[in-house]
Amino acid sequence: MSTETETVARPEDHPIAPYLRMDRMPHIWCPTCGIGTIVKCFASALGEAGVDLDKTAIVSGIGCTGRVAGYMNLDAFHATHGRAIPFATGLKLGRPELEVVVFSGDGDLSGIGGNHFIHAARRNIDVTAIVLNNLNYGMTGGQVSGTTPEWSVTSTTAFGNPEREFDICALAGTAGANYVARCSPLHGWEMKEIMKQALAKKGFSLVEVISPCPTHFGRYNEMKETPAMLRWLGERALPVERFRGLAAEQRHGHFPVGTLVDRDEPGFNERYETVRARAQQQ
């Protein structure tokens, strides 16, 4: 006969426990924040993709999502604000055999680090970037960011954000990334599959996950509880095929989810080897 203590699930028995630094738990994230779901999908993707964890490095910048690097059971680098991509670029060039993943927030990667982001996509450096877009600067108090939807309320736009938001995926695709996809915590299985594709892809891969921040973005926009934010996301997210079939005026207020760009242009490591070979022939 089993006892009560035998049936209680222990955190270290969870399927993704081997991918986490359990000694660092509990984490700092707010209850019901979307980051947990995204970390779970990332851990599952690493496992199902058969990635060698001893040859995988993760680089984060600053912010709520910047903490992911410290919680994953991988070689990790917690870079300065906006500088995750330069560190990852150097790492990939110096150690091309490594799988290098950048995991950070929209403020870090597309705001403060936006310039690096554009050039990483242009170079098509063989790095996988997972951008958690919580639509504001969460850790510092819910200020407006480059991805805050226009007319949304934040702690610094009390009467609505008069700026238009960045489309991170369009930016990466236009700049030259080989793989670009978007999803949300509503699409857990798809998110995991997209992350697997991004990890397998040569060249620059971007996965944008639009994620609920109930503590700030949700609270300021009458979606204090995560289910309300998820409903809001669900009303706006459209499968990419359906989105592309809409007229421009019908697209307003919606965004496409799924794989948006998938091509096989030579990555920067490959081009760099060409230069190295030419130099050796001199």
Q: Give the residues lining the site for ligand SF4 (CB under 6 A).
A: 29-30, 33, 35, 64, 134, 138-139, 213-216
Beta carbon nearer to ligand SF4, 82 or 105? 105
Tokens 């199902």, residue located? 48
CA proximity to 44, closest of 69, 67, 72: 72
Residue 92 host element (H or E): helix 84-94
Tokens 């309300």, residue located? 228
CB of residue 34 vs ligand SF4: minimum separation in angstroms?
A: 7
CB of residue 175 vs ligand SF4: minimum separation in angstroms?
A: 26
268, 124 in Cβ contact below 8 A? yes
CB of residue 121 vs ligand SF4: minimum separation in angstroms?
A: 24
Residues 6 or more apart whose Cβ sits within 8 Å of residue 83: 61, 113, 116
CB of residue 162 vs ligand SF4: minimum separation in angstroms?
A: 23
Q: Distance between CA 203 and CA 264 in Å, rounded? A: 8
Beta carbon nearer to ligand SF4, 231 or 242? 231
Residue 58 CA, distance from chain mean position: 12
Beta carbon nearer to ligand SF4, 39 or 121? 39
CB of residue 272 vs ligand SF4: minimum separation in angstroms?
A: 36
Largest Cα–Cα separation, the chain = 77
CB of residue 94 vs ligand SF4: minimum separation in angstroms?
A: 32
Beta carbon nearer to ligand SF4, 30 or 186? 30
Q: CA dist 159 to 155, 163, 164, 191, 213, Å?
A: 10, 12, 15, 34, 19
Beta carbon nearer to ligand SF4, 77 or 137? 137
Beta carbon nearer to ligand SF4, 29 or 166? 29
Beta carbon nearer to ligand SF4, 173 or 218? 218
The tokens for 67 are 């903490």
Q: N- to C-terminal Cα distance for the chain?
A: 77
CB burial string 171-210: b at 16+ within 10 A, e below: bbbebbbbbbbbbbbbbeebbbbbbbbbbebebbbbbbbb
CB of residue 9 vs ligand SF4: minimum separation in angstroms?
A: 24
